[in-house]
Structure 1
Amino acid sequence: MCFVFLRSIMKPCPLSHLQPWSLFSKFRLFSVFLLLVVSMEVTESRFLVKSLPGLLGDLPFTLETGYIGVGESDDVQLFYYFIESEGNPKNDPLMLWLTGGPGCSALSGLLYEIGPFTINYANSTLEKPMLEINPHSWTKAASIIFLDQPAGSGFSYAKTPEAYITNDTLSTLQTYQFLRKWLVDHPTFLNNPLYLGSDSYNGIVLPMIVQEIYNGNEVGEGPHINIKGYLLGNPLTDTSGDYNSRIPFAHRMGLLSDAIYKSTEENCYGEHLNVDPNNSLCIHDLQVVDKCLERIRKPHILEPFCDTFNALKSDLFRRVLRSLDKTPNDMWSLPQLQIQGCRADNYLYSYTWANSRNVRKALHIHEEFNEIEWVRCNYSLQFDFGKEVLSYTHNVLSTITYHQHFANHKNCRALVYSGDHDMVVPYLGTLNWIELLNLLVVSDWRPWFVDEQVAGYTMKYSNHNYTLTFATVKGGGHTAPEYKPKECLSMFMRWLADDPL
């Protein structure tokens, strides 16, 4: 799960006016109908980016940024980064990538996971982040659209307070509308094989987008989209099942004793999310479990637990953000913010980079966004098990039926991978719902290798014209490419080529 920080007051739609409960309750009743009739006219708002602050010289790859309006009267402006394949963009696949959350910026996936540039930590300060080329970018094999969605994520925004209020269904329809408009505006990519990719929370939304694409193709909704499959990393798929897999995972990893695990399973009957308030034995056992796990970092159980949220709130970090328009000499005079050496501290660099006036100018961010602070993940949209948030209704709790439909009715390829040290969405829960698809096992559990070393374990399934490859990434966390970039690039390239892992 991504680290979150509350977006500051938005302009022209102040956050205090953004999510009134009366408006939210009224608006969500109509949300699924907003996109029944949409215009395919695309407003020209795309730019070729030749260079980026923090990276020396011209970019060695093709980067385009832009906005596309979706929703009623284009009141939602979705921002994207498009990077052409560094191989053969004319023939290589095209992929739409959605970062999880919901509400987490595509820049997070681009900088920290699969994009062609990342933070050069050795030569960076929080006040002046530097960039470097990522040798393990997935753009080595595919052209990728990194999309900030829904509105309130990254540099995407809405023109009205109502348009910020959304849910799984509406987010699906708006992303589908974005993709159709983008392809109309980029007709040279219409014939490229298309894959949809995502991680974390978008394991809920992405299968629904895939289904919308198939539905649109079947009724002749233009343009025809050349979809070939999808890939999901540590995906939330079945809310209850994925959550309930955490305790068995913690037990297997030695974080819970046999006695604690046995008592919890017996008293809670395997249900740890929706607990009967009268079941005192279960509630007591879950309190014991929480004590055991409260200082474990769930995105990667072996890494240190740090409270980076306090760093983001600190007066010194706010001073750093306010200093971004100052001269370099003024910036160097600022005291250095002490970080704790945790992976989450790496995310602080993205805040100061993305909020720099020079960066926004280079990326051609709309002026309407000038007074809005970029955040890596927007707390008002963020999913957490059993909790409600301000502006996003999590109205779809499971997408297993979508995978079952693809398995029985579509000519489709799927890759599902899991960092095996992730306790946010453990691989055990993912394997559980894959088993529910009742697929034929083509290749049983075996290791896969990179440089003659075990990179994880894999299985391959099929049913008619549907194939699904499951892979664990050994040592990987919740966003596996962030932890094991070389291995994940190899996995991605082999899967695209339909080669065995």
Structure 2
Amino acid sequence: MSLTLEFLLLLIVLVLSYHAHSGSIVKFLPGFEGPLPFELETGYIGIGEEEEVQLFYYFIKSEKNPKEDPLLLWLTGGPGCSSLTGLLFENGPVALKFEVYNGSVPSLVSTTYSWTKMANIIFLDQPVGAGFSYSRTPLVHKISDTGEVKRIYEFLQKWLSKHQQFFSNPFYVGGDSYSGMVVPALVQEIAKGNYQINLQGYILGNPITDTESEQNYQIPYAHGMTLISDELYESMKRICKENYVNVDALNTKCYKLIKDYQKCIHKLNKYHILLPDCDITSPDCFLYMYSLMTFWANDKSVRGALQVTKGSIGEWVQCNYKNISYNYDIKSSVAYHMKNSIDGYRSLIYNGDHDMMVPFLATQAWISSLNYSITDDWRPWMINDQIAGYTRTYSNKMTFATIKGSGHTAEYKPNETSIMFKRWISRQPL
């Protein structure tokens, strides 16, 4: 073989390799009638020197003005839950149609509440093992909060190097639930990095921030929502000394009260206390949509359309808790919020007021601990002359908001959450 021909073949391999990792435009999705009315790109970004870790992403361009609109990196919590959850249930341009599964590909319909109406969004499957992300070889290091911060930052640098037209767009990081541990640290990592990213701030919904505090605040939340009696609450406060997590082993009276408390709340749906606690396989349940998503993501035609690497994963699961060994090495993200505030980054922290997993009382408590003065005091925020929730703004550019009637994630009130996001990202008062 001549040297010239050998060089040409090598060049072709490199070009094909680059395109394989730079993403593919998806114009049709199984279950959706006709061509997609938005621009969707899917692909993998290799992480590490050997790029053994392959992180899968969905990128949707803004339907308004992609050249100038903000770029948002969205992380779903867990840790280990697929970002497809966010895309199909919370803030994406398509959603699953509620129908009983009949063996065919579940149907998709357009949404009216998509955040892509005013922002470009990257939905990232992370950590490795979540969604369609995978590793070519067994991982050497255990997955951890701090390790994920490094990996996501590397993902972002490599993604932007392949999408340089978005370098100057205002950049935000967003997420919910367990992302509350990773996002504030990621913002700090981006801020101190040498890579020129136009970082403006971050947005978090019902964020896990300090797990011990959040568990403790479940008891006053339960009392405020009339889930436990005044007498039980007052006894728990007095005898457990308002610490219901690390209870003194000798405090048998406190353990007895906690058992009484558990009897009152064990059949509740803690993610939304007004909804029934039922099996996701039941079509009568709100959570049946999760089953439909699993059927959709495991369909061969769907994987083909999304350009998922064949044989890279087995069954797709919404949250891969069983197979991801995770080191929870950030115990509290409050210090990261403080540093981000000092650095001048904007933030929107919101809570569904019917979420018991991360009660709004706990979120309010750590925000208060930052000791920033209030610039716009507690008030209702409105949609069409109706109260959609309550909000307060602080001098550190942090806005706190509740979403009335919502639960642990935006899927319970997507329209209201979308309007809140649109106002905040446009720098308007809620």
Q: What TM-score do the two structures reach when normalised by structure 1?
A: 0.80
Secondary structure of 2:50's counterpart equals: helix
User: In the alignment, which of 125, 149, 156 is matched to residue 179 of structure 1?
Assistant: 156
User: In the alignment, which of 279, 292, 298 is matched to residue 355 of structure 1?
Assistant: 298
Determine the structure 2 residue equivalent to 1:452. Answer: 385
- Map of 1:297-446 to 2, 5 A cutoff? 297-308=269-280, 311=281, 339-369=282-312, 372-380=314-322, 391-408=325-342, 410-446=343-379
Deviation at 1:115, TM superposition (A): 0.5
C-alpha contact 1:234 1:418 (8 A) present in aligned 2: yes
- Map of 1:227-266 to 2, 5 A cutoff? 227-266=199-238
Q: Cα distance 1:361–1:42, how it changes in 2: closer, same or farther (>3 A)?
A: closer
Determine the structure 2 residue equivalent to 1:102. Answer: 79
Q: Distance in 1 between matches of 2:101 and 2:141?
A: 34
Deviations 1:27-78 (A, max 9, x none): xxxxxxxxxxxxxx99734100000000000000000000001135212110
State how many pairs are aligned: 413
C-alpha contact 1:92 1:141 (8 A) present in aligned 2: yes
Determine the structure 2 residue equivalent to 1:315. Answer: none
C-alpha contact 2:353 2:360 (8 A) present in aligned 1: yes
C-alpha contact 2:105 2:299 (8 A) present in aligned 1: no
Secondary structure of 2:56's counterpart equals: strand
Secondary structure of 1:351's counterpart equals: helix
Deviations 1:99-156 (A, max 9, x none): 0101000001100110110011148646430000011001011000000000010000
Deviation at 1:272, TM superposition (A): 1.5
Determine the structure 2 residue equivalent to 1:226. Answer: 198
C-alpha contact 1:246 1:423 (8 A) present in aligned 2: yes
Determine the structure 2 residue equivalent to 1:296. Answer: 268
Determine the structure 2 residue equivalent to 1:189. Answer: 166
Deviation at 1:266, TM superposition (A): 1.2
> Does 2:430 align with 1:497?
no
Q: Distance in 2 between matches of 1:240 and 1:107?
A: 29
Q: Cα distance 1:42–1:209, how it changes in 2: closer, same or farther (>3 A)?
A: farther
Secondary structure of 1:288's counterpart equals: helix
User: In the alignment, which of 209, 213, 223 is matched to residue 186 of structure 2?
Assistant: 209
> Does 2:385 align with 1:472?
no
C-alpha contact 2:168 2:198 (8 A) present in aligned 1: yes
Equivalent position amino acid for 1:494 in 2: R
C-alpha contact 1:89 1:142 (8 A) present in aligned 2: yes
C-alpha contact 2:347 2:399 (8 A) present in aligned 1: yes
Deviations 1:374-418 (A, max 9, x none): 00001236xxxxxxxx6001111101011111222x121100000
C-alpha contact 2:45 2:56 (8 A) present in aligned 1: yes
Instruction: Please tell me the root mean square deviation across aligned C-alpha atoms, in Å.
Output: 1.5
Deviations 1:83-114 (A, max 9, x none): 00011001100000000101000001100110
Deviation at 1:368, TM superposition (A): 3.4
Q: Distance in 1 between matches of 2:322 and 2:161?
A: 32
Q: Distance in 2 between matches of 1:456 and 1:108?
A: 24
- Aligned residues with identical type, % of pairs: 49
Equivalent position amino acid for 1:373 in 2: E
C-alpha contact 1:119 1:129 (8 A) present in aligned 2: yes
Determine the structure 1 residue equivalent to 2:115. Answer: 138
Determine the structure 1 residue equivalent to 2:137. Answer: 160
- Map of 1:79-118 to 2, 5 A cutoff? 79-118=56-95
Secondary structure of 1:74's counterpart equals: coil
Secondary structure of 1:368's counterpart equals: coil
C-alpha contact 1:157 1:164 (8 A) present in aligned 2: no
Q: Distance in 2 between matches of 1:117 and 1:191?
A: 27
Deviations 1:417-461 (A, max 9, x none): 000000010100000000001111011111001111100000000
Q: Distance in 1 between matches of 2:109 and 2:279?
A: 27
- Unmatched segments (≥5 aa) in structure 2: 1-17
Deviation at 1:271, TM superposition (A): 1.4
Q: Distance in 2 between matches of 1:196 and 1:259?
A: 43
C-alpha contact 1:85 1:92 (8 A) present in aligned 2: yes
Deviations 1:186-242 (A, max 9, x none): 0000000000000000100111100100110xxxx23x0100000000000011111
Q: Cα distance 1:349–1:340, how it changes in 2: closer, same or farther (>3 A)?
A: closer
Secondary structure of 1:52's counterpart equals: coil
Q: Distance in 2 between matches of 1:184 and 1:488?
A: 31
Q: What TM-score do the two structures reach when normalised by structure 2?
A: 0.93
Equivalent position amino acid for 1:117 in 2: V
Q: Cα distance 1:447–1:177, how it changes in 2: closer, same or farther (>3 A)?
A: same
User: In the alignment, which of 415, 419, 422 is matched to residue 486 of structure 1?
Assistant: 415
